[in-house]
Amino acid sequence: MVRSKSHLSGSLSTASPSISLKELAAHLGLSSATVSLVINRSPGAKSIPPATQERVRAAARELNYRPNLMARSLRQKRSFTIGVVVPEVSEGYAALVLSGIEDYLLQEGYFYFVVSHRHRPDLIEEYPSLLQQRAVEGLIAVDTVLTSPGQIPAVAISGHSEVPGVTNVILDHNLAAQLALEHLQSSGHSRIALIKGQDFSSDTEIRWRALHSIAQKLGISINQKLTIQLAGDNPSPEIGYTVTRTLLQRGEPFTAILAFNDISAIGAIQALRESGHRVPEDVSVIGFDDIQSAAFQNPALTTVRQPLREMGVIAAETLLSRINSPRPPDGIPSEIIVKPELIIRASTAPANLASS
C-alpha cells in the first residue's frame, strides 16, 4: 500500500514500500518536474543547484523511491544504454579506460553493456549489430578497430582507423616516444632494447613508427638484435618475462628496456633479476600506460602515462553529446588527441656502461 503524504512528513523508514514521484516531490516541497530532472539525471538537471540535487537523491534513497525506468524508456522511446567493446577485462589498459566510461555514464543516468572479444575477428565484426539489437544508443570501442559501427553514433579509443561517423580518441604517440627516449638518452643510455606490442593491438604500429621516427631525430640507433615483439593474448607479465629472456639469450648488451606496456615491463624486470641483472643499477626499464599497480612495483616503475581514465570520460562525454545532438554545429570531430606524461620512478637510473 502506498503511504500517504501525512505519513511521509513523519518518521521515515527505508523498509517502506516505494512511493511515487509526485509524493516524493510533495515531501520535498519541489515540483515534480524538478525532481524528475534530478532522478533521471537529465541534461536540464545541471541548472539545479547541487545542494538541491543531493537533497532529492537523499530523500529518494530514504523513502525507497524507485523510478520506473521501463516507463521512462517507452515514454521517450530511448533505452539510455551504451555498448562498450573491449579486447578483455583485466588489470591494465582496459580496466582504467572502463572506469572513466563508467563514472561518466552513471553520472548521466545511462546503463551500459560490456562485451570482450579476445581479439576474435568474428566477434569484433558481430558485436556492433548484436548490441544494436539490444537497443544500445551508441557504441564505444576500446583498443578495437571498428570497421562498421552500424547506424548509431560511435567513438573509438585508440582505434586508429578512419571510419565515417566514428570519433577517435587517441594518444599523441610521437610525444610519448620523445618523452621516453629523451629520458633514457639524457641518462646516458644508447643501447636500448625495445619491446614491440602484439600484432592485434591497435596501438602497436603507430607507436612503433613513432619510436623509429623520434630515435632517428635524437640520433639513437635501433639495433634489430635488441628489438622483440610480444606474442599471444596472455594479459599477464609472463609475456614480458618470456621476450626478455629471449633478448638476454641473444647476448647483445643493453642498458635499458622500453616496453610496450606496464604489464610487459613488470615481466621484464622479473626476467632481468633472475639472470642476475639489477634494476635499475644494471638495466633501466620503462613501461607504458601507468596502470594502478605501477607505482607499487619493486622498484616502482617509470612509465609513460596515458590518461586512460580521462580518455574513457572523453569518449563517454563525446558519445552522449552526439546522441543528444545528432547534428552538432561544428560537425562530428574525427579525432581527439590527448597528451601523455612521463612519470619517473625508481626503475630508471643513469646508464652503468661497465655492466652492459
**Cell, residue 174:** 610521437
- Average pLDDT of the residues in 70-84: 73
Cβ 158 vs Cβ 170: under 8 Å: yes
Q: How confident is the model at residue 353 (pLDDT cuts 50, 70, 90)?
A: low
Take residue 16 and report the three cell numbers written for it.
517502506
Indicate the pLDDT class of residue 75, thresholds 50, 70 and 90.
low
- Domains, the chain, in order of start with CATH, read 5-67 (1.10.260), 79-171+308-336 (3.40.50.2300), 173-306+341-355 (3.40.50.2300)
The helix/strand/coil state of 254 is coil
**Where does residue 259 rank: exposed (0-12), middle (13-18), buried (19+ CB within 10 A)?**
buried
Collapsed DSSP state (helix, strand, coil) of residue 343: strand
Distances (CA, A) of 235 to 41, 190, 230, 286: 36, 30, 11, 18
DSSP tag of 236: S
Residue 212 has φ and ψ, to the nearest 5°, of: -65, -40
Omega before 299 within 30 of 0, i.e. cis: yes
Instruction: Give yes or no for residue 99 having a pLDDT over 70.
Output: yes
The pLDDT assigned to 307 comes to 96
255, 189 contact by CB (below 8 A): yes
Per-residue model confidence as pLDDT tens digits over 293-343 = 999 999 999 999 999 999 999 999 999 988 887 666 566 778 999 999 999
Average confidence score pLDDT of the chain: 87
Please report which helix (H) or strand (E) contains residue 6, including its range: helix 5-8
Contact 288, 295 (CB under 8 A): no
pLDDT reading at 29 higher than 80 = yes
Answer yes or no: are the C-beta atoms of 270 and 241 closer than 8 Å.
Answer: yes
Cβ atoms of 193 and 228 closer than 8 Å: yes
pLDDT, tens only, 283-294 = 999 999 999 999
The rounded distance, in Å, linking the Cα atoms of 111 and 115 is 14
> The whole model's pTM is what?
0.79
The dihedral sign for the CA sequence 54, 57, 62, 63: positive
Distance (Å) of CA 106 to CA 59, 98, 170: 19, 12, 23
Per-residue pLDDT of 105-124, as tens digits, reads 988 878 899 999 988 889 98
